[in-house]
């Protein structure tokens, strides 16, 4: 008990010191704006000449605030990335999720008892809102008492568990992505409208339960209108005396690539460019709403993406293998200079555009080159809200507050564990270790080389059946110096075995300690975590 009280006192003193930089006594409003599948190179101020899409609002935010050039999702796919953001904890630490159905019918990704961003900000006295893609699972009422699925959901009854149960005073969401049924909005845990149709959308044409008036091209406009209304409500009555926290999670430019008619033909790149421009306009509408109500000066906006761009998305609405190649032929590179896409272990799968604007604190046009994780927003918002975290909360999150004042201040984040859909990666400063050969994913839509292809080539090169320890050295792993080789083209694993060993030790220690930040050891909810996760079975066949 004495140790816990001492820790809380120290946290309070640190937070008081951090908050002394704020120009106003009132805690800032916070908006966390997150696109879905928006690549590093899809934003002009990050992609430069390799970006053929105009993104004036992202770029204005960058000019008025700070660009983070080495920001990363913990995973190169939606759900685990969002879990880390919402909890400040690596997703693989959690126990297996609750059972559910396919796509938007998935069960809760973590228990209701989990301390989330919504809980954090609500505890600190903020009005909390969530608008957009949820994709963290729900518990739906069913007509037969069985697990929710395609044919048994009671859409006239409220959710048994949803955003309202994770600390959000107001929520307006889709349960999954825009190409993941059911296609129906949920407001404050209640379905909106009547689910009477079966429809699917471009890209994958997943046909499933659909609200009778639902149209894919209206979704971004609907979300932005909800955000504008939320901001306006915060300026009236009792709400005007409270700060607010808004999590705005778009469904785009994730497929289906479906820009609103008023955005069609706006980009010189084509349909994909139109859609990204509409995404950028959602950010612009949010910024204009703040300006209209005089809230810009003391509002922190962070704008980013949940991971890298999809290789199958582009100007052809149907999901198409390696569609990125046709866009590159037009001069547009969604991953910028980086290698790989969504699902992969390479930088293009997880390195994301990340911008923060807070006029009273952040210097306009500033740039931070330090390693940053999306999960770091958890500890950052705790510091801004002057709400110390308990020792078991936000265990993998580091506050960005010192970076806002000075992008070179302090040591910052040095290490980070990342994952593809089939493998792991470890960052340590400029070094990156991929615990696999190849892309670390199936490679169905164009990530190269595929997991199977890469392991079979490595086995041939190795010349004999590998042991477990053999899988931790060349040719089964990849080591890159990202400062000298940002495109991950030269594998240095055989040249620097000591560096490989040191980074494997980081990986093992962060699993064993149940946390990657300072503090007492915590217990992972899931047992058996190790580097063999994702290694194909055929590797051990005799």
pLDDT in tens, 117-139: 999 999 999 999 999 999 999 99
Mean pLDDT of 427-433: 98
Select from 3.40.720.10, 1.10.10.10, 3.40.50.300, 3.30.70.1450 the CATH code of 2-120+224-410: 3.40.720.10
pLDDT band of residue 316 (cuts 50, 70, 90) is: very high
* Residue 376, pLDDT above cutoff 90: yes
- 2-120+224-410 matches 417-540 in fold: no
Q: Which of 11-25, 242-256, 383-397, 432-446 comes out lowest in average pLDDT? A: 11-25
Per the DSSP assignment, residues forming a β-bridge with 223 are: none
Q: Residue 401's pLDDT is what?
A: 95
What pairing do the DSSP bridges indicate for beta strands 186-187 and 424-428?
Answer: unpaired
**CATH code of the domain occupying 417-540:** 3.30.1120.10
C-alpha of 78 from chain center: 7
Which tokens sit at 183?
């296609």
Domain ranges for the chain: 2-120+224-410, 417-540
Summarize pLDDT for 262-310 with one digit per residue, the tens.
Answer: 999 999 999 999 999 999 999 999 999 999 999 999 999 999 999 999 9
Q: Residue 11's pLDDT is what?
A: 40
Four-residue CA torsion sign, 382, 383, 387, 390:
positive
Question: Could you tell me where the beta strands, DSSP code E, fall in 50-194?
Answer: 66-68, 71-72, 127-133, 170-174, 186-187, 190-191
Which tokens sit at 329?
């032929």
Q: Return the higher-pLDDT residue of 242 and 542.
A: 242
Q: Residue 542's pLDDT is what?
A: 54
């Amino acid at each position: 008990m004495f140790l816990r009280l001492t820790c809380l006192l120290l946290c309070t003193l640190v937070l008081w010191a951090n908050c002394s930089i704020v120009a106003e006594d009132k805690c800032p409003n916070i908006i966390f704006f997150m696109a879905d599948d928006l690549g590093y190179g899809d934003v002009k101020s990050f992609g430069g000449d390799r970006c053929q899409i105009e993104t004036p609002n992202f770029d204005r935010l960058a000019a008025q605030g700070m660009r983070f050039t080495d920001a990363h999702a913990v995973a190169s796919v939606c759900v685990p990335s969002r879990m880390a953001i919402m909890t400040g904890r690596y997703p693989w630490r959690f126990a297996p999720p609750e059972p559910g159905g396919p796509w938007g019918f998935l069960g809760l990704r973590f228990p209701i008892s989990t301390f989330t961003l919504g809980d954090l900000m609500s505890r600190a006295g903020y009005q909390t809102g969530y608008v957009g893609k949820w994709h963290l699972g729900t518990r739906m009422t069913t007509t037969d008492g069985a697990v929710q699925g395609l044919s048994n959901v009671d859409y006239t009854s409220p959710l048994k568990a949803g955003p309202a149960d994770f600390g959000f005073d107001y929520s307006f969401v889709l349960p999954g992505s825009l190409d993941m049924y059911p296609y129906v909005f949920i407001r404050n845990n209640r379905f909106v409208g009547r689910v009477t149709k079966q429809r699917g959308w471009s890209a994958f044409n997943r046909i499933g339960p659909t609200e009778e008036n639902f149209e894919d091209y209206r979704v971004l406009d609907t979300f932005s209108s909800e955000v504008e209304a939320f901001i306006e409500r915060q300026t009236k009555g009792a709400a005007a005396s409270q700060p607010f926290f808004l999590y705005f999670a778009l469904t785009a430019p994730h497929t289906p690539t479906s820009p609103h008619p008023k955005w069609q033909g706006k980009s010189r790149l084509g349909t994909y460019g139109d859609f990204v421009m509409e995404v950028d306009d959602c950010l612009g509408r949010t910024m204009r709403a703040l300006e209209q109500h005089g809230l810009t000066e003391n509002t922190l906006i962070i704008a980013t993406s949940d991971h890298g761009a999809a290789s199958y998305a582009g100007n052809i609405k149907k999901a198409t293998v390696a569609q990125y190649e046709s866009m590159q032929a037009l001069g547009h590179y969604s991953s910028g200079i980086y290698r790989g896409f969504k699902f992969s272990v390479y930088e293009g799968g997880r390195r994301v555009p990340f911008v923060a604007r807070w006029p009273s604190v952040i210097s306009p046009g500033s740039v931070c080159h330090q390693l940053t994780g999306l999960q770091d927003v958890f500890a950052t918002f705790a510091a801004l809200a002057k709400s110390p975290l308990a020792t078991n909360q936000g265990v993998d999150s580091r506050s960005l507050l010192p970076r806002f004042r000075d992008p070179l201040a302090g040591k910052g984040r040095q290490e980070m564990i990342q994952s593809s859909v089939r493998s792991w990666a470890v960052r340590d400063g400029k070094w990156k270790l991929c615990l696999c050969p190849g892309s670390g994913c199936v490679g169905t839509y164009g990530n190269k080389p595929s997991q199977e292809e890469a392991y079979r080539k490595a086995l041939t090169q190795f010349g004999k059946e590998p042991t477990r320890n053999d899988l931790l050295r060349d040719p089964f792993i990849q080591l890159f110096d990202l400062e000298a080789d940002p495109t991950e083209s030269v594998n240095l694993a055989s040249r620097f075995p000591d560096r490989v060993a040191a980074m494997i030790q980081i990986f093992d220690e962060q699993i064993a300690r149940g946390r990657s930040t300072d503090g007492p050891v915590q217990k992972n909810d899931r047992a058996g975590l190790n580097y063999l996760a994702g290694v194909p079975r055929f590797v051990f066949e005799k």
